[in-house]
Amino acid sequence: MLRLTSVAAGYRGDPVVRDVSVDVPAGGWLAIIGPNGAGKSTLLKAVAGLVHATGTIEVADRATHELSARERARLIGYSPQTPTLPEGMSVTDYVLLGRTPHLGTLARESRTDLEVVAGVLARLDLRGLAGRALTTLSGGERQRAVLARVLAQQAGLLLLDEPTTGLDIGHAQALLELVDRLRTEDGTTVVSTLHDLTFAAQYADRLLLLAEGGVVASGKPAEVLTPELLAKHYDADVEVLETSGGEIVIAPVRRRPAELDG
Amino acid sequence: MATATATPRASRRSVLSPVVLVVALLVLLLTVLVSVCLGAADLGWTRVLHEIWAQLTGGTSPLTDNEAAILWQLRVPRIVLAGVVGAALACAGAAYQGVFRNPLADPYLLGAAAGAGLGATMVTVFLATLPGAVPGAAFVGALVGVGLTWLLGRSASAGSSNTAVLLLAGVAVTAFLTAIQTFVQQLNTDTIKQVYSWMLGGLNTTGWQDLRVALPYIAPALVVLCLCGRLLDVLAVGDEEAASLGVRPDRVRLVVVLAASLATAAAVSVSGLIGFVGIVVPHVVRLLAGTSYRIVLPVTILGGATFMIIADQIARTAFAPAELPLGVITAFTGAPFFVFVLYTQRRRFA
């Protein structure tokens, strides 16, 4: 579904990420992880066509640089880390913006577009909030509204930049479950950046670890999330544990001064 | 799946309701009628209405030739011109606010006013005798001002159109052109009164000529702006997200700024610098009718026309036969109203 070959992205002549090659099958979930400033968001934006990139990015076997902006928007949905929520705009109007790539330049929404939006709102349990102003929503409701807008695009590839930003652990879990449900029901491919490594381990089927603008590890969560790699690239003291159900947990470990000395 | 079926409630969206449109049209029509009946020359409102009816149905006119000339060659064209100028400035203001995502943006933001002022000053000082030269110079000056800002903004932000850089370029161009204008004016103090009275804004010219000059620019510009309503709604989520939805923010901004600047330049050329219309009217429309640009732009056209006709009515009758500068009226009513709008918004979003 998504294939990157030797992709460099960022400012012209001064790429933030370099030499990224990765393959995500249809229906897969790739989580891009890495320390702050590693270039996670830049890579995601490069796939969305929002920053300058070299190398080839193929979505559904089509090179994205050959697509028009509108064609690309029909294939790729993108939600940024901090979405701009226009003041005074209702949830319905906001989600309707997701239909933009399916409309002519000056066209207005058809009945089909309204039905798609109504369906998405129902699916994300947003029907009761449809008429509310975006700015009056809680953090979890906002993230769901943004997800609804991206889903209304009906793109086969979802790029989610830190979708759990600002959410407590329960809301974060609910949102990721929702994304996973959409993925399994519709066969949508998901690429997300996630700073929470436990969530990354539990939801993604493949991880890409970036550090200082390059890929340092890639593969199944258990292969990438090793104490050695995390110590090296995050400069972090962690233990990789297992829950009673056998799922990976990345737990920070605090070394007491005595232990450090001794 | 039962939960996925559409319900009418969930799909309700912001559209321009016919009620709002009809009310706005009726208010405008009423304003025009009242305005036509009132004036420095007292023609009597029953006779004016009778005359309009006679013109519409082909009956005999109750007015003398002289009175008919006052009505059709002085009063009516001035009212229509006020409406057109108000519509242009208000709609251009709304469009600028959308394209820069800045509620304080007005049509003069990118140097249109300073450019027009410089053009008008130059012509008044150096070509005083040429009739029709001031509007032409103001029109060209306004477009040159906006063009300079655009070029400066583009080159300073290395090709991409960064709105903050563009706004700062507007500040720089405005300051620079105003400096030249002030310098030229100070060297030629004998024309200072003429220049000053043009700057304060006014429609105290005669006949249909001004309208014939301005309308060919204003009408198509306003049509283009209204067609861009949905695109401006998309731009409200920011350039990056708009781009991810398949919209080219740079292109939308170029088209909207071009159309709005053309309308502004044409309005300025026939009316001088009239402030506040471009800020006040769009905000009132947002409060009353909704914030979607598909609502704001068309309703602002009607609201701007109404506001300007009322303001010009006050300008020409409050101290008749003396006339007040139109810019003074709009600022005098606009400034307190603007504070009121800010106050209500503060209460709403606090």
Which 3 state secondary structure label does DSSP give B2? helix
The CA–CA distances, whole Å, from A89 to A86, A92, A249, B242, B286 equal 6, 8, 40, 15, 11
The residue count of chain A comes to 262
Q: Which of A73, A90, A135 sits opposite B244 (nearest CB)?
A: A73
The pLDDT tens digits for B253-308 are 999 999 999 999 999 988 888 888 998 899 889 888 888 999 999 999 999 999 99
With b for 16 or more beta-carbon neighbours within 10 A and e for fewer, the B159-196 pattern comes to: eebbbebbbbbbebbbebbbeebeebbeeeeeeeeebe
Comparing CA positions, the residue from A153, A150, A10 lying closest to residue A80 is A150
The stretch A253-258 carries a mean pLDDT of 80
| Separation of CA A157 from chain center | 10
Amino acid making up residue A78: Y
Contact A108 B230 (CB under 8 A): yes
DSSP track, B79-98: HHHHHHHHHHHHHHHHHHHH
Q: Residue A8 and residue A75: Cα distance in Å, rounded? A: 21
Tokens of B193: 């009164």
Q: Is A208 exposed, middle or buried (0-12, 13-18, 19+ CB in 10 A)?
A: buried
Mean predicted lDDT score pLDDT of chain A: 92
What domain count does chain A have? 1
- Whether the ω angle into residue B249 lies within 30 degrees of 0, i.e. cis, is no
CB contact set of B184 (below 8 Å; sequence gap of 6+): B118, B121, B122, B125
Q: How far apart are CA B317 and CA B167, in angstroms?
A: 38
Q: Which two tokens stand for residue A93?
A: 């109007």
**Contact call for residues B217 and B263 (beta carbons, < 8 A):** yes
Model pLDDT for residues A111-146, shown as the tens digit of each residue: 899 999 999 999 899 999 999 999 999 988 999 999
**CA distance, residue A128 to nearest chain B CA (Å):** 8
Report the pLDDT value the prediction gives residue B57, as an integer from 0 to 100.
86
Q: Do A115 and B11 touch (CB under 8 A)?
A: yes
Q: List the structure tokens of A160.
A: 């989610």
State yes or no: ipTM above 0.85.
yes
Residue B4: the pLDDT is 42
CA-CA distance, B168 to B109, in Å (whole number)? Answer: 10
**Average pLDDT over every residue of A159-176:** 93
Q: A107: domain CATH number?
A: 3.40.50.300
- Which chain A residues are closer than 8 Å to B238 by Cβ? 84
Residues of B in contact with A118 (CB under 8 A): 6-7, 10-11
Per the CB < 8 A criterion, the answer to whether B178 and B114 are in contact is yes
Burial class (CB in 10 A: 0-12, 13-18, 19+), A235: exposed
Counting as low any pLDDT under 50, the low residues of chain B are 1-11, 349-350
- Length of chain B, in residues: 350
- pLDDT band at residue A12 under the 50/70/90 scheme: confident
Distance from CA of B151 to the nearest CA of A (A): 22
Joined together, the tokens standing for residue B275 give 């402030």
In chain B, where are the structural domains located? 34-80
For an interface test with A, give the residue of B227, B232, B244, B292 to mutate (most A CBs within 10 A). B244
Residue that the structure tokens 């809680």 belong to: A138
d(CA A195, CA A199): 8
User: For position B74, what pLDDT does the model report?
Assistant: 86
Chain B CB contacts of A70 below 8 Å: 246
Q: What is the DSSP string of B64-82?
A: -HHHHHIIIIIIHHHHHHH
Q: A90: domain range? A: 2-261
pTM tops 0.80: yes
Quote the DSSP letter at residue A35.
Answer: S
